[in-house]
């Protein structure tokens, strides 16, 4: 080949490469100019575009991860919703948009969509769910709720629907049961829960800056405008549950380094010092007693050592180090906690709500029960006339619940509904007792460890329900019912060899 032809070909290829480089540079330069112009002229529009791109990227990563983990598509909206409930709690609970004045709640939309897809994907799911007595009790409560709604919706409208979610949320036990049908889901869900508890811990550390978060946070609401960020409703309860999860299940999620799970548990105990919830002081003692009764010496030792370690860190940081940290209702120091613990039996000169105020709530709610003792008052009217003057939104809303979920069921559903409510817990406790007896014979130690944690989480949640209203708030109730349904599925299908054989026959 002549040299002139070779030189011409080489020059042409070099020209093409230079042209390609120039076009690429010009494209990137134009893109940066466009982004810079938008940042100056329309910063909110640019932030919206970046948020949309980040959301699409996150969804794509989620889909890829779901496929690699062997999960089903319906589990994606389910886990997104439960994650939002557990981390952002009340803010995510109120995330909604309105169509013609009617609120469309995003969290509920995700949950009900995932439940519908699960039922379509597993036609025999309902049949299997009906084999669980706790779910039968939930369906009985739903039947009584529908009876009340026929009468209450014409009188109270959407407020009746707002109050009845305490009964409707129980249906999400079926979604948890569906997640337990595949044995490989336990591996993914334990990893997912560890991440959620770590995020909850980190989020709780921002509580001292709650007012700053409220000031710039976007707002949304079903009935009232609520900031998306800066809410810590129930965070203290989840921190204790997260510390227990690290102690009971953490070693099956993070094998190396071995000290990491203990470090995470310690961090969650420190988070409790900031959230300052008295019920968890009682819950911690109850958990220690249960671990002794069940013969879990190693878990008891870890729990018992980490508690004074957290107290020692607080002492060193606040007393010797001179660090001032603001908690939910007072400073984070040993003097405050002494008074806070003393307030469990006396309210004179102690922080937190008084015992007398809680007794007054109980008396007022009980009067509603006495007016309708058999079937209850129903849904729509608040059970209290007290105004919440100290809520985060500053809207002085009516306190609709008496800070005792069992009393709420008694007042709204009467003796009939309350009997079903008690039967639900008796059936659930019976399944846990069976599981705790069988856990030593389980081949998969991760399953037995998770069931033990689920029982302890149930105990903590019920302690909360006697002094607060977790079942009346979807941000607390939905994760509870989902995890209880998942635990029931593990007990039925994966706890022992006989249950595994039964599950294989059901799948045929």
pLDDT in tens, the chain (508 residues): 455 445 555 555 545 454 544 555 566 556 666 655 555 555 555 555 665 666 566 666 666 666 666 778 899 899 999 999 999 999 999 988 877 777 889 999 999 999 999 999 998 999 999 999 999 999 999 999 999 999 999 988 888 988 999 999 999 999 999 999 887 788 899 999 999 999 999 999 898 888 888 888 888 888 788 898 889 988 889 999 999 999 999 888 887 787 888 899 999 988 888 888 888 888 999 999 999 999 999 999 998 888 888 878 877 777 766 677 777 787 777 777 777 677 666 655 455 566 677 788 888 888 989 999 999 999 988 888 775 544 444 455 677 788 899 999 999 999 999 999 999 999 999 999 999 988 877 778 889 999 999 999 999 999 999 989 999 999 999 999 999 999 999 999 888 655 554 444 444 3
Confidence at residue 508, expressed as pLDDT on a 0 to 100 scale: 38
Measure the CA–CA gap between 270 and 460, rounded to whole angstroms.
Answer: 18
Angle at CA of residue 290, ends 468 and 447, nearest 5°: 95
276: left (phi over 0), alpha (psi -120 to 50) or beta: left
CB atoms within 10 A of CB 42: 12
* Alpha carbon separation from 337 to 275, 343, 390 (Å, rounded): 12, 10, 22
Q: Are the CB atoms for 435 and 241 separated by under 8 Å?
A: no
| 226-227/219-220 β-pairing | antiparallel
Place of tokens 């006396």: 346
How many Å separate Cα 369 from the centre of its chain?
30
SS3 state of residue 401: coil
* DSSP letters for 135-176: HHHHHHHHHHHHHHHHHHHHHHTHHHHHHHHHHHGGGGHHHH
Measure the CA–CA gap between 92 and 237, rounded to whole angstroms.
Answer: 17
* Alpha carbon separation from 366 to 182, 369, 374, 375, 499 (Å, rounded): 45, 5, 13, 14, 44
Confidence at residue 15, expressed as pLDDT on a 0 to 100 scale: 53
Confidence at residue 289, expressed as pLDDT on a 0 to 100 scale: 94
Q: Helix 235-248 vs helix 279-293: angle between axes, to the nearest 10 degrees?
A: 20
Measure the CA–CA gap between 313 and 319, rounded to whole angstroms.
Answer: 10
How many Å separate Cα 4 from the centre of its chain?
74
Confidence at residue 169, expressed as pLDDT on a 0 to 100 scale: 96
Measure the CA–CA gap between 317 and 311, rounded to whole angstroms.
Answer: 10
Measure the CA–CA gap between 351 and 332, rounded to whole angstroms.
Answer: 12
User: What is the rounded (10 degree) CA torsion for 58, 62, 68, 71?
Assistant: 180
Question: What residues does 398 pair with on adjacent strands?
Answer: 387
Would you give the end-to-end CA distance of the chain in angstroms? 72
SS3 state of residue 377: coil
Angle at CA of residue 268, ends 264 and 270, nearest 5°: 115
Residues 6 or more apart whose Cβ sits within 8 Å of residue 34 = none
Q: Is the peptide bond before 257 cis (omega within 30 degrees of 0)?
A: yes
Buried b (16+ CB within 10 A) or exposed e, 339-376: ebeebeeebeebbbeeeeebeebeebbeebbeeeeeeb
Measure the CA–CA gap between 43 and 488, rounded to whole angstroms.
Answer: 49
Measure the CA–CA gap between 413 and 113, rounded to whole angstroms.
Answer: 28
Residues 6 or more apart whose Cβ sits within 8 Å of residue 460 = 237, 240, 241, 244, 280, 283, 286, 287
Question: What residues does 105 pair with on adjacent strands?
Answer: 96
Q: Single out the residue of 393, 478, 392 nearest to residue 107, CA to CA.
A: 478
Confidence at residue 245, expressed as pLDDT on a 0 to 100 scale: 95
Measure the CA–CA gap between 92 and 73, rounded to whole angstroms.
Answer: 22
CB-based burial label for 26 (10 Å; 0-12, 13-18, 19+): exposed
Measure the CA–CA gap between 502 and 420, rounded to whole angstroms.
Answer: 29
Q: Single out the residue of 152, 178, 169 nearest to residue 379, CA to CA.
A: 152
Q: What is the pTM of this model?
A: 0.84
* DSSP letters for 385-398: --B-TT-TT----B
């Amino acid at each position: 080949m002549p040299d002139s032809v070779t030189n011409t070909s080489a020059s042409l290829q070099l020209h093409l490469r230079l042209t390609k480089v120039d076009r690429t540079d010009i494209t990137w330069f134009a893109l940066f100019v466009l982004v810079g112009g938008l940042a100056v002229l329309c910063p909110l529009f640019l932030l919206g575009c970046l948020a949309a791109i980040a959301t699409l990227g996150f969804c794509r990563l989620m889909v890829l991860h779901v496929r690699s983990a062997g999960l089903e598509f319906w589990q994606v909206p389910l886990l997104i919703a439960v994650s939002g409930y557990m981390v952002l709690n009340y803010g995510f609970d109120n995330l909604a948009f309105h169509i013609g004045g009617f609120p469309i709640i995003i969290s509920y939309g995700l949950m009900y969509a995932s439940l519908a897809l699960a039922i379509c994907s597993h036609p025999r799911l309902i049949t299997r769910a009906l084999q669980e007595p706790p779910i039968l009790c939930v369906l009985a409560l739903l039947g009584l709720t529908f009876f009340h709604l026929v009468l209450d919706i014409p009188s109270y409208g959407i407020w009746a629907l707002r109050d009845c979610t305490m009964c409707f949320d129980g249906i999400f036990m079926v979604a948890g049961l569906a997640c337990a049908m595949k044995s490989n889901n336990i591996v993914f869900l334990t990893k997912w829960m560890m991440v959620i508890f770590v995020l909850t811990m980190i989020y709780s550390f921002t509580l001292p800056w709650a007012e700053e978060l409220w000031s710039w946070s976007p707002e949304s609401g079903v009935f009232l405008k609520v900031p998306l960020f800066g809410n810590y409703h129930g965070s203290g309860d989840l921190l204790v549950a997260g510390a227990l999860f690290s102690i009971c299940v953490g070693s099956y999620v993070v094998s190396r380094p071995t000290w990491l799970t203990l470090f995470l548990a310690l961090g969650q105990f420190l988070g409790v010092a900031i959230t300052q919830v008295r019920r968890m002081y009682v819950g911690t003692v109850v958990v220690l007693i249960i671990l002794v009764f069940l013969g879990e010496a190693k878990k008891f030792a870890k729990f018992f050592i980490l508690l004074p370690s957290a107290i020692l860190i607080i002492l060193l940081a606040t007393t010797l180090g001179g660090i001032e940290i603001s908690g939910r209702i007072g400073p984070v120091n040993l003097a405050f906690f002494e008074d806070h613990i003393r307030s469990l039996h006396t309210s004179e000169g102690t922080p937190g709500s008084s015992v007398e105020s809680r007794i007054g709530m109980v008396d007022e709610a009980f009067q509603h029960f006495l007016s309708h003792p058999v079937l209850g008052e129903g849904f729509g009217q608040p059970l209290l006339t007290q105004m919440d003057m100290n809520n985060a939104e500053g809207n002085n809303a009516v306190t609709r619940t008496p800070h005792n979920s069992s009393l709420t069921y008694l007042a709204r559903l009467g003796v009939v509904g309350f009997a079903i409510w008690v039967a639900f817990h008796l059936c659930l406790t019976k399944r846990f007792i069976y599981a705790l007896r069988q856990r030593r014979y389980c081949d998969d130690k991760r399953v037995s460890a998770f069931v033990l944690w689920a029982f302890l989480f149930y105990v903590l949640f019920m302690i909360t329900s006697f002094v607060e209203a977790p079942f009346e708030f979807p941000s607390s109730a939905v994760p509870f019912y989902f995890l209880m349904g998942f635990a029931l599925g593990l007990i039925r299908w994966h706890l022992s060899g006989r249950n595994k054989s039964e599950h294989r026959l059901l799948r045929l």
